[in-house]
Each structure stands twice: as structure tokens, then as C-alpha cells.
Structure 1
Amino acid sequence: MIEHRCEKVLVVMPAHNEEAAVGAVVRGVLAHKIADVLVVDDKSHDATAEAARRAGARVFRLPIHLGAWGAMQTGLRYALRHGYRYVVTMDADGQHLPSTLPHLLSPVMAGRADVAVGSCVERVSQARRLAWRVLRRLSGLGIEDLTSGFRAYNQKALEILASPAATLLDYQDMGVFLLLSKMGCSVLEVDVPMQTRLNGHSRIFNTWGCVLWYLLYSGTLCMSKTRHFSLFTSNGRYTP
């Protein structure tokens, strides 16, 4: 069993217009009593922040809309600044089940990996399968569920992803995994169930136009990975 008092775990939820779902997700996490919750409100136009706060989360409201990765990195930096040893990132729309948190955290807290990715390939659409197949071939990465935002990070991974180098990224998948690989982090996939999101839709896979843009952006990162990542800071670490 994971003991929160000894291990300081923070769940980071980026949220944009998630008033309908975020409260239930926060309450589900807090019910397990293994982690604190930080909701990073990415300049929502609804009552996302209020719903999250009423459910028991700490809330950080961004003054401008940064997108999912920008909001997530804000949470990672908060975690380092406040002494958390582990962070779990999860969506605020209800896809990720709080009951699977101990399962996801276990290999990271046991030292078997620096990063654990909650993987659920059964949920994917045809567009997503095509994108993953192309990007795995281009990048050489063996990760099956490339776009899952349900992840657990240890402090080594946190310092890398909170660094200015990671601020250059737009999405949470290919660039993040390539940077982690470059800096020597081990990544392990953990099979978890997921459910249909309670609110909203995928930013990447909403239309074929979004898919094509995502493939162009991520494919460029993959093909230029050696030169691109040699420009990163020497140790890839963030100092709060």
C-alpha cells in the first residue's frame, strides 16, 4: 500500500472548461488518500476553478491560455517547488480512473522506472492508430500509447520536464518522450482501463485536419531529434 505521508504525491490536472467533470474526478482522487490534487485552470470560461476548489483541490488559475502541456508543466514546477517526490498527471474530463492510481504509481515508487504511462490502446480510433504507427516508425520509440496523459513521474523526470527545454514543446507526447529518452529516463507502460470522457473532446483527434497537423508537428520533431535535443540545457533540470 502506498503511504501518502511518507511519499508526497501530487496529482496534477490541467483543465480548460471542465466544470461538468472536474469535481467528480478530484473527489475520486482524494477519496484514496494517497495524493494531494492541483488543478491548473487553463483560463477557463466557465466555473472550472470553483468546481475544483469545492471538491477539495488546490487550484492555480493561469492568466493566459497555455494549452494542455503549458498547464501541465506549470503543475510540474509547482510540485518541485513544494517538495513533492512524485507526480501523477491525469485528465480532468473523467477518462482516467482514480482507482488505478496505486497501480500506476507502483513501478515508479519501487524504482523500476522513472516514468509510468497508463496505457489503454483499446480506446483508440482509426485516426489515432494511424498516427501512432507513423510516429513509432519515425521516432524509434516502443511506447504503444503515445498520447495517454495518465502518467507517473519521479523527481528525475520532473526536473527534466520542468526545465526551460521542455517549455518549447506543444504536445505532451512525442517531444516529451524524446526528451526523456535523451536524458536517460526509463519509461514503463502500465495497462489500465479508461472510460469515455465525461466532457469535451480530443484536441488532437477531433478532426482529420487536426490529425494531419499533429503528424506534421510531431514527425518534424522525430526526424530532427538529434539536432533538436542537442540544443537543450546540459542537464535538463529545473531549479525552483
Structure 2
Amino acid sequence: MNKILIIIPAFNEEYNIENLVKEIKLVADINLDILVINDCSTDNTELVCKNSGVRTINLPSNLGIGGAVQTGYKFALKNKYEIAIQVDGDGQHRPEYIKELIRPILDNEADMVIGSRYINKEGFQSTKLRRIGIIYFSKLLHLLTNQVITDPTSGFRACNDKVIQLFSKRYPVDYPEPESIMFLKRNKYIIKEIPVQMKARMGGVSSISSLKSVYYMTKVSLAILIDKMRKQIV
């Protein structure tokens, strides 16, 4: 039986984390371990996690999404997990898709699998501003990698042990999803997408504002272009 870890990065998700953990535990026929990375939340996320009995790493300072997720990958590598699955702490990702998300990895068809809301275009489709950014990054990555990734900003993804090892050593800091796709493609890893539906955030506030979106697109675009020019890891 494969050893599988769910990595949940969480910053101020007191309204979402308890229900998300309950939903993941209801996923049938899969033995899953759950790890919440509490990214120095200023609300009651730490207390909610403690009361839920879920394994939690409470970071002493705020590392941002990239640092929080990489902490999860370091834990996965140290504890010899064969598959790691990222699930955002805001409750937008639906755990019933987990079995479909890991199937291509179990069948040795992919190194990383992304849950995309834009294959069937069902469920919550994000805000208009973020959809513009998603389309932009999809086109940029297609131009540079010759692969269409319909949902390059999706944080709902599963990775095999090779990617766990890679991400535990190097993972982008800010808004890491598109940049990490370029990183994997440059190093000849196989990425697939599966169709999923997502939900709107039920509580809390997204960390990405309109102003941050402009910064996000500029910074990540430059990072992707720079990564494209780097040599393949031997």
C-alpha cells in the first residue's frame, strides 16, 4: 500500500480548516495521512487544528505559501512518503477528487497531476481578475514548454516521490504554482491534468489582492523566463 501525505498550507483559515479535515477523512478506500502547515496564523487556526486532532507544524514566522508547502515536502521526504498531495486550506479543493488525482501517478503515467477547473469548466471558476492571470500563464507556459496547462495556478496537485525529493530542496517562494511547472518541465518530468470542480471560499480572505495580482504576474513571469534558460538538473 502506498504511503500518501496530504499537505495543507494554512494561513488564517480558522473558518475552513476543521471542515476540510473532516471531508478528507471521509475519502474512502485510501489510507491518507494529513499534515497542516500553520504559517504563523494570527487567528485561531492553531487552536482549531489542535482541537481537530490533526498533525500540525506551527511555523514560528510567516514563510508564505511557498515556504509552507516546501515544509510539507521536507516532512514527506524525511518520512518516506511515496505520494504527496497539496490541498489548499481555504476549502476550495474538493477531497472527493483525490483518488482521481493520484491515479496517473499510481499507473506511472505522470510525475505530477494537477486538478484543473478549466477542462470541463464546471464549479467555481475564480474571479475575473484571476481568470485573466490564469489564461496568461497558461499561454506563457504553452509557449515555453509546448504543453497546454489549463489551470497553472491550481494548488490542488499530487506528486510522486521523485518530485517530493526535488521540491523538498527547491520550491518557489511566492505564488509558486506556475514557476514550479516550468521547473518540472525543464527537467523532463511528466505533468498531467485531470478535470475537477472547486468551491468558492466559505470564510476568511484571500491573500491575493488586485495590487498583489500585478506584482504576481510580473514576478512570476520573470521567474519562469529565467528558469527556462537554466540548465537541466543532472
| TM-score after normalising by structure 2 | 0.89
**2:192 is the counterpart of 1:188:** yes
Which residue of 2 is the match for residue 17 of structure 1?
A: 12
How many corresponding residue pairs? Answer: 223
- Whether 1:128 and 2:130 are equivalent positions in the alignment is yes
Q: Distance in 1 between matches of 2:194 and 2:220?
A: 23
Instruction: Output the amino acid matched with 1:200.
Output: G
Q: What TM-score does the superposition give when structure 1 sets the normalisation length?
A: 0.86
**Contact 2:15/2:204 (<8 A) preserved:** no
Matched residue type, 2:163: A
Kindly state the Cα deviation for residue 201 of structure 1 after the two structures are TM-superposed.
Answer: 3.4
Please state if 1:110 is matched with 2:107: yes
- Gaps spanning 5+ residues in structure 1: where? 1-5, 236-240
Aligned pairs for 1:3-152 (under 5 A) are 6-32=1-27, 33-121=30-118, 122=121, 123-139=125-141, 140=143, 141=145, 142-152=148-158
2:160 aligns with 154
The range that moved more, 42-51 or 118-127, is: 118-127
Q: Contact 1:136–1:143 at 8 Å: present in 2 too?
A: yes
Q: Distance in 1 between matches of 2:185 and 2:173?
A: 15
- Aligned residue identity for 1:8: K
Match in the other structure for 2:206: 202
Matches within 5 A, 1:157-172: 157-163=163-169, 165-166=170-171, 168-172=172-176
Q: Is the contact made by 1:138 and 1:223 (CA closer than 8 Å) also made in structure 2? A: no
CA contact (8 A) 1:27 1:56 kept: no
One-letter identity of the residue aligned with 1:176: S
Q: Deviations over 1:171-213 (max 9, x none)?
A: 2212111111112111111101111112223333x31x22211
Instruction: State the superposition RMSD in angstroms.
Output: 1.7
Structure number with higher relative contact order (C-alpha < 8 Å, ≥ 6 residues apart)? 2
For the 8 Å contact 2:37–2:69, the answer to whether it is kept is yes
